[in-house]
Amino acid sequence: MARFQSSEPVNIPDLAAASHMRVTSFRRHFKEVTGFSPLAFQRHIRLLEARKLLAGGSTNVSRVAYEVGYKSPSQFSREYKNIFGSAPVADLER
């Protein structure tokens, strides 16, 4: 079975096929188990990884955004603040 990296785009049909499920069933079961849709789950994992990188001494918020799979640092910052309550630069400065 293929390994999926959090920074790579999620292909729901491929995940469903690997699970021997139809896409709609896969989404429903995934949400029942995790509480998230597959894409929201990936977004959450990316943001947790970003927080870890920022706490570990990364020096650049944009670099972290790209490293965890975001194509837009502004979108990354917006979603990070929505989840954690503060901007990523604030966590970088701590």
- Return the CATH architecture of domain 12-93: Orthogonal Bundle (1.10)
Total-model pTM:
0.81
- Range from 73-77, 83-87, 89-93 carrying the lowest mean pLDDT: 89-93
Percent of the chain with pLDDT over 90: 74
Query: 6, 46 in Cβ contact below 8 A?
Result: yes
User: Tokens at residue 56, please?
Assistant: 């570990």
Kindly tell me if the per-residue pLDDT of 9 is higher than 80: no
Kindly tell me if the per-residue pLDDT of 7 is higher than 70: no
> How crowded is residue 89: how many other Cβ atoms within 10 Å of its Cβ?
13
User: CA–CA separation, 29 vs 23, rounded Å?
Assistant: 10
Query: Taken in order 79, 84, 87, 89, is the CA torsion positive or negative?
Result: negative
Per-residue pLDDT tens digits for 27-70: 999 999 999 999 999 999 999 999 999 988 777 899 999 999 99
Q: What is the mean pLDDT of the chain?
A: 88
